[in-house]
A and B are shown apart, each in its own frame.
Chain A
C-alpha cells in the first residue's frame, strides 16, 4: 500500500462547479499535511497547509480526519486557472521527509 494515495482523476468540471479531492495516508504517526498544486512542466507550489480543525483560504477548504487518516480539498466556484494537478503531501515520522501522493488532475472547462 502506498503511504499517500490519491484518486488520479482526471476530473473534468465546468467553470463554477464545486469539486472535492480526497487523500488517504497510511502512517498514523503523520505530523503535518499540505496540499500543493503543480502546473504542467512546472514545480509544485504550496496551495495550503491542512490543520486539524480544518481551514479555508478563499474558495479552497481543507479538512483533516485523523481517525480515518484522510485529507480532503474542496474547491468552490472553479476557475479555468484552477486547472492543474493537486498533490497531497504528508510529513511522517522522525525523519520528517515529505511524502507526496501521485496527484489528482483537474481540468476546468469553459
Chain B
C-alpha cells in the first residue's frame, strides 16, 4: 500500500488477556517506530527498529511489552496480561532512513476492560 497500515483499527480486550498489534510500514522504509498516546496526552516512544540493527527498546514500559520486526518489514507489538492503564492509541510510523521524516499509520485504539 501507499501508506503505513495498522491493524486492527480498534481492539477491546479483557484485562489479563494478551493482544497483538500489527504494523505494515511503507515499502522500502528501513526504520519503524512504535508510540502510544493516551487520551489527551503526548506521544510516548516505545521501540525503534532500524534495518538489521538491534532495536532501541528503551521506551517499553514493562516486560509485558515486546515487539518484533520480521524480514525487515512487518512489525508486531505484543502486550501480555493487559492492564487497564494499557488503554491508549498505539501508533506505528516508518521512515526511509535515519534522518528523514516519519509517516504514521492511523493507529490501533486499544481498550482494556
Contact residues of A with B, CB < 8 Å?
31-32, 34, 42-46, 49, 87, 91, 95-103
Given contacts A43-B105, A43-B106, A44-B104, contact A98 B99 (CB under 8 A): no
If A34-B101, A43-B107 touch, whether A95 touches B43 (CB-CB below 8 Å) is no
Given known contacts A43-B105, A46-B101, A100-B43, A95 and B58 CB-to-CB distance under 8 angstroms: yes
Question: When chains A and B are docked, how far (Å) is the Cα of A34 from the Cα of B99?
Answer: 11
Complex: A29 Cα to B101 Cα, angstroms: 18
Among candidates B41, B101, B104, residue contacting A102 with C-beta atoms closer than 8 Å: B41
List the B residue with the shortest CB-CB distance to A34.
Answer: B101
A95 near B101 (CB under 8 angstroms)?
no
Nearest B-chain residue to A8, judged by Cβ? B42
Q: Give the distance in Å from the alpha carbon of A17 to the alpha carbon of B105 in the complex.
A: 32
